[in-house]
């Protein structure tokens, strides 16, 4: 999972990223950002264009939904609980 994508959603920023493993688990297409085809400059352009067509409030809401997703799925307590479960299962 790309660290920069996680940092972006943690900051409440809408994300435009490629639709590849790791990225697609972080971004919900059309909700928290846009997923575009890898190595496809035309699809990247379309994703950027769609984002620019949103008004400022819609852009902020997209970022806020990303932040909520980050807190729910990647927050420190969530990760700590998962690590604890792994350790406990090994004992």
- Could you tell me the pLDDT band of residue 27, with boundaries at 50, 70 and 90? very high
- Could you tell me the pLDDT band of residue 8, with boundaries at 50, 70 and 90? very high
Q: For residue range 33-80, list pLDDT tens digits in order.
A: 999 999 999 999 999 999 999 999 999 999 999 999 998 888 777 778
Domain count, the chain: 1
Of 61, 54, 77, the C-alpha closest to 13 is: 61
Domain that holds residue 52: 3-90
DSSP calls for 31-67: TTEEEE-TT-HHHHHHHHHHHHHS-HHHHHHHHHHHH
Residue 83 pLDDT more than 90?
Answer: no
Q: Is the pTM of this model over 0.95?
A: no
- CATH number for the domain spanning 33: value is 3.40.50.2000
């Amino acid at each position: 999972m790309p660290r920069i994508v996680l940092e972006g959603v943690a900051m409440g920023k809408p994300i435009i990223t490629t639709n590849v493993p790791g990225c697609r688990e972080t971004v919900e297409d059309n909700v928290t950002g846009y997923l575009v085809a890898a190595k496809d400059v035309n699809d990247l352009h379309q994703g950027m264009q769609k984002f620019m067509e949103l008004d400022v409030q819609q852009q902020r809401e997209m970022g806020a939904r990303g932040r909520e997703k980050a807190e729910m799925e990647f927050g420190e307590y969530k990760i700590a609980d998962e690590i604890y479960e792994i350790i406990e299962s090994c004992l």
